[in-house]
């Protein structure tokens, strides 16, 4: 491999005069610091230029951007040489909202905006107070009203017609909202002095972490009816949601446990000395410090989790990825799945990238 940037370069840098054109100087230090480095830069530039050129040719120059409704002949004409972005305006309502009644789709759209607002407010450090929990409860209730309807003059929409981005956000957010308290309880249980509670917590965490999410989802979709009394059945989406909550609980518990271990012993002892009960000790003294320690890894778990909700495709729940996959079943548009996947990947990317940037900024400021 090439030289590693961490190696001290002081003697060489001193020999080199710091004058001349700043652009040339930048090029020299960053791309052509030595002969092998220079060759590498040239090769990389060539490959990059080729890649960008062919992408621009396929994705912009030869692409079809708009076609008359439900007519893919223009797209099929450029197949192989140009992208068919026209499939996005054609199908975006279905990809984003699935089979939600067409005229009512402003409701899931509003729900998505509410989710984004909720995430934004939760990321503001100044708002990390008790009120935030109330805000979450309020917002989630409002979203439920919007999605289901049935009151305030909104027509009722049953959840088997939900689909697309709102379903992805619902699975992720509710998974988090319920998985987080569960994770806290299990993490406390795993560190408890009571052997029965400790071993139950360990069993739960290790069992869930030991198997792939796919098999948990299968279990939720296939085995759940077997577990329940005859005639009792709950909706498929809810079952998947429960599986995701259980899954999230186990992973979040491990992250939170890391935070609990980082709280100094003296804090526990001081709380005991004040005569606080177990729950008050944890609620007032230990957990606030523990969670503060692990916020960056928590955000990373959220990202992983947000991506993992896409696995519900395998059990046939209409999340964003499933609607995308369904949209291209249409024979006229079948050949243009790459374009649809790129569109959906961009949506996932925006959410995950925002979260990962946020996690990094937290890491940078938490040291101070």
Q: Is 213 in the site for another protein (CB under 8 A)?
A: yes
Nearer to another protein, 295 or 328 (CB): 328
Distance (Å, whole) CA 141 – CA 145: 6
d(CA 281, CA 188): 12
Judge whether 86 and 66 are in contact, CB under 8 Å: yes
- Smallest separation, CB 306 to another protein (Å): 8
- Is residue 275 at the binding interface for another protein, with CB under 8 A as the rule? yes
Q: For another protein, what does the binding mask look like between residues 225 and 244, x meaning CB under 8 A? A: xxxxxx--------------
Q: Does 182 sit near another protein (CB under 8 A)?
A: no
Q: Are 116 and 123 in contact (CB under 8 A)?
A: no
45 binds another protein per the rule CB under 8 A:
yes
Nearest to 281 by CA among 192, 178, 186, 183: 192
Assigned token pair, 175: 């998974």
Rule CB under 8 A: is residue 196 a binding residue for another protein? yes
Alpha-carbon distance 98 to 164, whole Å? 5
Compare residues 134 and 269 and give the one whose CB is closer to another protein: 269
Among residues 118 and 344, whose Cβ is nearest to another protein? 344
Binding of residue 353 to another protein (CB under 8 A): yes
214 binds another protein (CB under 8 A): yes
Question: d(Cα 275, Cα 112) in Å, to the nearest integer?
Answer: 46
Q: How far is the CB of 37 from another protein (least distance, A)?
A: 5
- How far is it, in rounded angstroms, from Cα 146 to Cα 139? 10
In 3-state terms, what secondary structure has residue 197? helix
The rounded Cα 281 to chain-centroid distance in angstroms is: 33
Structure tokens at 235: 């909706």
Closer residue to another protein in complex, CB, 86/217: 217
Q: Which is nearer to another protein, 86 or 315 (CB)?
A: 315
341 binds another protein (CB under 8 A): yes
Q: Which is nearer to another protein, 292 or 360 (CB)?
A: 360
CA distance 216 to 242: 10
Which DSSP string do the residues of 211-252 spell out, in sequence order?
A: S-HHHHHHIIIIIHHHHSPTT----HHHHHHHHHHHHHHHHH
In the complex, least distance from residue 340 CB atom to another protein, rounded to whole angstroms: 9
> d(Cα 24, Cα 196) in Å, to the nearest integer?
68
| Residue 8 binds to another protein (criterion: CB under 8 A) | yes
Beta bridge partners of 319: 164
The reply on whether position 130 binds another protein by CB under 8 A is: no
Three-class SS state of 31: coil
49 part of the interface to another protein, by CB under 8 A? no
Sole window of 40-48, 151-159, 174-182, 237-245 interacting with another protein (rule: CB under 8 A): 40-48
Q: What is the footprint of another protein within residues 300-319 (CB under 8 A)?
A: 303, 307-308, 310-311, 313-314
35 near another protein, judged by CB under 8 A: no
Residues that bind another protein in the complex, under the rule CB under 8 A:
1-9, 30-31, 33, 37, 40-41, 44-45, 48, 193-197, 200, 207, 209-215, 218-219, 222-223, 225-230, 275, 303, 307-308, 310-311, 313-314, 321, 325, 335, 337-338, 341, 344-345, 348-349, 352-353, 356
């Amino acid at each position: 491999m090439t030289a590693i940037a961490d190696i001290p370069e002081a003697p060489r840098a001193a020999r080199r005069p710091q004058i001349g054109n700043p652009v040339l100087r930048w090029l020299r230090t960053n791309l052509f610091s030595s002969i092998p480095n220079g060759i590498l830069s040239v090769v990389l530039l060539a490959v990059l230029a080729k890649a960008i050129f062919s992408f621009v040719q396929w994705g912009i120059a030869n692409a079809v951007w708009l076609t008359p409704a439900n007519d893919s002949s223009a797209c099929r004409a450029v197949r192989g040489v140009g992208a068919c972005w026209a499939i996005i305006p054609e199908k975006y309502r279905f990809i984003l909202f699935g089979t939600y009644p067409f005229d009512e789709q402003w409701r899931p759209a509003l729900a998505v905006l509410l989710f984004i607002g909720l995430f934004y407010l939760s990321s503001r450090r100044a708002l990390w107070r008790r009120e935030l929990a109330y805000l979450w409860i309020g917002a989630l209730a409002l979203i439920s009203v919007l999605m289901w309807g049935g009151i305030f003059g909104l027509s009722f929409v049953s959840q088997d017609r939900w689909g697309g981005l709102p379903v992805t956000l619902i699975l992720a957010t509710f998974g988090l909202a319920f998985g987080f308290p569960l994770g806290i309880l299990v993490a406390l249980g795993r560190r408890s002095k009571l052997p029965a509670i400790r071993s139950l917590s360990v069993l739960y965490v290790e069992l869930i972490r030991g198997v792939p999410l796919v098999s948990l989802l299968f279990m939720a979709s296939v085995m759940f009816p077997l577990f329940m009394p005859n005639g009792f059945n709950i909706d498929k989406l809810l079952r998947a949601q429960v599986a995701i909550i259980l899954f999230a609980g186990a992973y979040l518990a491990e992250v939170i446990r890391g935070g609990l271990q980082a709280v100094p012993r003296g804090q526990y002892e001081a709380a005991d000395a004040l005569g606080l009960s177990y729950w008050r000790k944890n609620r007032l003294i230990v957990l606030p410090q523990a969670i503060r320690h692990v916020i960056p890894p928590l955000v990373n778990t959220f990202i992983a989790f947000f991506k993992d909700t896409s696995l519900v495709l395998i059990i046939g729940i209409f999340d964003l990825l499933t609607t995308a996959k369904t949209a291209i079943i249409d024979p006229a548009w079948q050949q243009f799945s790459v374009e649809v996947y790129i569109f959906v990947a961009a949506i996932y990317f925006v959410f995950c990238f925002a979260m990962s940037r946020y996690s990094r900024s937290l890491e940078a400021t938490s040291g101070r």
